Amino acid sequence: MKDSSNKISLNGSWHYVKDADEELSFEKFVDKFKKNQTDGEMNIPTNWQLAGLSNFNGACWFVKEFSLDKVESDNLIQLHFKGVDYFCDVWLNDIKLGSHEGYFQPFHFDISSHIKTNSKNILVVRVSSPLEEPKKVWPDKKKLIKGIFNHHDCRPGGWSLEHGQDQNTGGIWNDVFIKTGKLISDNLKITPIINWEENTADIKISFVCYSSISEEVELLFDIVSPQNDKKKYSEIVSLKNGENEFTTTIKIDEPKLWWCLDLGEPSLYKLTISSSSLSLVEADFGIREVCLNKKQEFYLNKKKLFLRGTNIIPTQFLSSFTKEKIDWLIVQLKAANVNIVRAHAHVNRKELYEAFDRTGIMVWQDFALQWTYDESEEFVANAVLQIKDMVRLLYNNTSIVFWCCHNEPGEQIETLDPLLYDAVKSEDETRIIRIASNYEEHPYDGWYWGKKEHFAATPMGPLVTEFGAQALPELGSLSKFLTNDEIEKPDWLKWEYHNFQFEQTFNVAEINRGKNLDKFIANSQQYQADLIKTAIDFYRRKKFNNITGIFQFMFIDCWESITWSVVDFYGKRKKGFFALKEAFQPVYVSVFFRQKKHFPGSKLQIDLWIINDLYNEYDNCELQILVDDKNIGSITGIKIKENEIYFFDYKSINITLPDNMELSVYKICFQLVDKSAETILSENISEIKFVAKEF
């Protein structure tokens, strides 16, 4: 939401004082500031870890002196914070304005009666992001609602009691500013309801308006369609001094619907609310409908869609997640052929969701709860309030199609999570709400147990929200956070600090270290790629046959680490990225080799599936099979209907392998060609080994 109220930024240099033991009082801090006894200056916004306070836990006091030009006497003046992690107390000119808890929520204070115009003002902010006591509180009875930011196996220190809370994310990580005006809007909610029989949409608009006046005003509502058509509506409303709530509904004929990448264009409307005295408010929104049926099959605008997803934790420090990094991430996700991401156990920057809205990548949005928490009534009440904050903050982001209350809650799925579910439902009944993403839908076959071949049983469906394996990053990346000695003569404790899992790598996955590090990296990445492709192949072959969607874990590293990512912290793609990209093609040829070795001149022993996730039909397709880039045979006259799957068993595939091949390993490529358009719809590349007859 954009708001053109008069806005004065307070970003920039702030003085600060560290208070690790949280012993300073407001008076003592002010005294230190007046005596120039601060610890230095910090450029706000930032997470304090990035500003040089390495592994700092506790409180940090910030102070900013500023002047405000004269404003009209009847104007409101508000102080806004877009994000402070985690506890926050605020004073202006020695008057305490209030407190806030939480890391992702924007909040504000009315400072109309406390600010000085044409004079110096002193703003003091105390931020506390404490260390939760190991064993007693952390990790199993946590009280801070920070999700993966203070407990996860992909963050600094992982599960270590000593180091698992390293690199604290505390700080004033988002913008601070003052907003002035006779009227200031807040909490805009746009709820489109599609009337399918009429081909119309009712756009319910509700918002809060803070007013310094009591009078009747005309509110003007302008809606601009994706085709740039304009619809205007006005309404006379009575304002009272203070907080006002308004609701209205506008009907749109022949609405242009919002679609994900697979199904169409992510069409967005623009709403503008204004009046003679109300500062301009703009917000983008899409018109769409989502549901999940009893079989857990997902529908977007009444079209059934298979979910090809991945989990994302794109950064450990939200202040550093810039527009450029967001745009880069979007490019990578599109390249990987995902149609939905799961924002894993955290709430990210608003700008990320706006990018998903524009791009057409859907979002499964987790609340910031990871594993288990305190079971007190106070914690439950706090979690209920904060999950409502999440829904309100992201309500207008059309790309969000799922809310999920908790990741891997264990038994708290029976105690805490039903209350969170009800809280979300009280705020939003237009989206799918999942009570949790729990262990029974996270098949880590081939990593925490068993073999990757177990995915043949398509475990833990129908909606699989995590699966995957770790892989080492390339040597250039690894050497940026481990020394040569730590790499060549592995310091496994240091590797573990960077999230490497020793036992799973060597005792479950049985990855061979090889003769040198290059071979170890290659083996590790190849194993991850093989597991990803194996799992996706088996799951996609059961599309809508008790399997409705899958989410690979995970896409990118949030810090310098060795994890399940297919893109490392430095943006380098692992082999697993290309496996994901290939196996997630919207139109996909999935091949099962009935045997790994073949004699030259023998019949190719394969089963294959053609899977179409698109609502496009192809009437004249040909599957071409190439060995060493030479066509060895084709299946012609293939007709593919929209959103369908086709199976060809080995008996029906009569392809003879060349009889003049040298005994070696060759690339074998399966190309699905649309002959009408002469375009390649899908390409699957694997290997085939030719061996000699020894009889």
Domain boundaries, the chain: 2-180, 183-288, 292-468+533-559+573-583, 587-690
Q: CB of 333 within 8 A of CB of 371? A: no
Alpha helices in 268-415 (DSSP H): 323-335, 350-359, 377-394, 412-415
Cα 382 to chain centroid distance, Å, stands at 23
Mean pLDDT, rounded, for 327-342: 99
Name the pLDDT band for 213 (thresholds 50, 70, 90).
Answer: confident
Closest to 333 (Cα-Cα) out of 309, 304, 298? 309
The pLDDT assigned to 693 comes to 86
- Model pLDDT for residues 292-324, shown as the tens digit of each residue: 999 999 999 999 999 999 999 999 999 999 999
Question: Cβ(165)–Cβ(138) under 8 Å?
Answer: yes
Whole-angstrom distance, CA of residue 157 vs CA of residue 510? 24
State how far the Cα of 49 lies from the Cα of 55, in Å rounded to an integer. Answer: 7
Task: Check pLDDT > 80 for residue 285.
Answer: yes
Give the span between the Cα atoms of 667 and 669, in whole angstroms. Answer: 6
Binned at pLDDT 50, 70 and 90, residue 71 comes out as: confident
As a whole number of Å, the end-to-end CA separation of the chain is 75
User: Is the per-residue pLDDT at 73 higher than 80?
Assistant: no
pLDDT of residue 118: 83
Give the pLDDT score at 418: 99
Q: Which amino acid is at 149?
A: F
One of 1.25.40.10, 2.60.120.260, 3.30.70.100, 3.90.1150.200 is the CATH number of 2-180, namely 2.60.120.260
Counting Cβ atoms within 10 Å, is residue 291 exposed (0-12), middle (13-18) or buried (19+)?
middle
| DSSP label of 391 | H
> CB-based burial of residue 570 (10 Å sphere; 0-12 exposed, 13-18 middle, 19+ buried)?
middle
Tokens 């106070």, located at residue: 378
The answer, yes or no, to whether residue 1 has pLDDT greater than 80, is no
Mean pLDDT calculated for residue range 246-274: 97
Residue 537: closest CA among 506, 582, 498, 570: 582
pLDDT band at 587 (very low <50, low <70, confident <90, very high): very high
Backbone φ, ψ for residue 114 (5° rounding)? -115, -15
Indicate the DSSP class of residue 253.
E
Tokens of 225: 């369609």
* Residue 177: CB atoms within 10 Å: 16
What are the tens digits of pLDDT across the range 233-249?
999 999 999 999 999 99
Q: What is the separation of C-alpha 488 from the centre of its chain, rounded to a whole number of angstroms? A: 35
pLDDT of residue 291: 98
Question: Architecture of domain 183-288 in CATH?
Answer: Sandwich (2.60)
258 contacts 509 by C-beta, under 8 angstroms: no
Q: What is the pLDDT of residue 279?
A: 61
Judge residue 152's burial from the number of C-beta atoms within 10 Å of its C-beta, 0-12 exposed, 13-18 middle, 19 or more buried.
buried
User: What stretch of H or E contains 27?
Assistant: helix 26-34
Is 3's pLDDT higher than 70?
no
pLDDT in tens, 364-411: 999 999 999 999 999 999 999 999 999 999 999 999 999 999 999 999
Phi, psi dihedrals of residue 476, rounded to the nearest 5°? -60, -35
- The domain made up of 292-468+533-559+573-583 has a fold known as TIM Barrel (3.20.20)
Q: Do domains 2-180 and 292-468+533-559+573-583 have the same CATH topology?
A: no
Q: How high is the pLDDT of residue 404?
A: 99
Q: What is the pLDDT of residues 174-209, one digit of tens each?
A: 999 999 988 899 999 999 999 999 999 999 999 999
Element (H, E) at 59: strand 58-67
For residue 224, what pLDDT is reported? 98
Name the token pair of 364. 């499964």
**Residue closest to 181 by CA, chosen among 64, 274, 66, 45:** 274
The pTM (predicted TM-score) of the whole model is 0.97
pLDDT for residue 665 is more than 90: yes
Other CB atoms within a 10 A radius of the CB of residue 679 amount to 10
Residue 278 has pLDDT above 70, yes or no: no
- pLDDT of res. 70: 78
Return the percentage of the chain with pLDDT > 70, whole number.
Answer: 99
As a whole number, mean pLDDT of residues 201-230 equals 94
294-302 long-range contacts, Cβ below 8 Å, gap at least 24? Answer: 295/462, 295/546, 295/548, 296/462, 296/463, 296/548, 296/549, 297/462, 297/544, 297/548, 298/401, 298/432, 298/548, 298/549, 300/259, 300/260, 300/263, 300/362, 300/401, 301/194, 301/257, 301/259, 301/263, 302/196
Question: What's phi and psi for 309, nearest 5 deg?
Answer: -120, 170
Confidence (pLDDT) at 415: 98
Give the pLDDT mean for 482-507. Answer: 97
Averaged pLDDT, 75-80? 95
In the predicted model, what is the mean pLDDT of residues 521-526?
Answer: 99
Exposure b/e, 498-514, CB count within 10 A at least 16 = b: bbbbeebbeebbebeee
Give the integer Cα–Cα distance in Å for 223 and 2: 14
Average pLDDT over residues 137-153: 98
Does residue 348 contact residue 318 with C-beta atoms inside 8 Å? yes
Confidence of residue 694 (pLDDT cuts 50, 70, 90): confident
**Residues 386, 380: Cα–Cα separation, whole Å:** 10
Which residues 6+ apart lie within 8 Å of 408 measured at CB?
A: 370, 371, 436, 437, 438, 439, 442
Does the structure show a pLDDT above 90 at 695?
no
* Averaged confidence pLDDT in the chain: 97
pLDDT of res. 5: 59
- Average pLDDT on 341-348 reads 99
Residue 219 pLDDT greater than 60, yes or no: yes
Task: Decide if pLDDT at 633 tops 80.
Answer: yes
Instruction: Concatenate the DSSP letters of all residues of 365-387 into one string.
Output: EE-S-BS-B--SHHHHHHHHHHH
Distances (CA, A) of 380 to 101, 418, 473: 14, 11, 40
The 10 Å Cβ neighbour count of residue 417 is 22
Inter-residue contact 84 to 105 (CB < 8 Å)? no
**How much is the pLDDT for 257?**
99
Q: How confident is the model at residue 672 (pLDDT cuts 50, 70, 90)?
A: very high
Question: Which residues are bridge partners to 151 per DSSP?
Answer: none
**Contact of 507 with 427, CB cutoff 8 Å:** no
Strands 362-366 and 400-404, by their bridges, are parallel
Question: Rounded CA gap, 124 and 29, in Å?
Answer: 9
* pLDDT greater than 90 at residue 277: no
Phi, psi at residue 37, to the nearest 5°?
-110, 35
List of residues 6+ apart from 515 with CB closer than 8 A:
none
pLDDT at 69: 86
Of how many residues is the chain composed?
695
Q: How many CA atoms lie within 13 A of 172 on its CB side?
A: 29
> What's the pLDDT at 546?
98
Average pLDDT of 486-491? 94
Q: Which CATH architecture has domain 587-690?
A: Sandwich (2.60)
The Cα 491–Cα 562 span in angstroms is 14
Cross-strand pairs, 245: 208
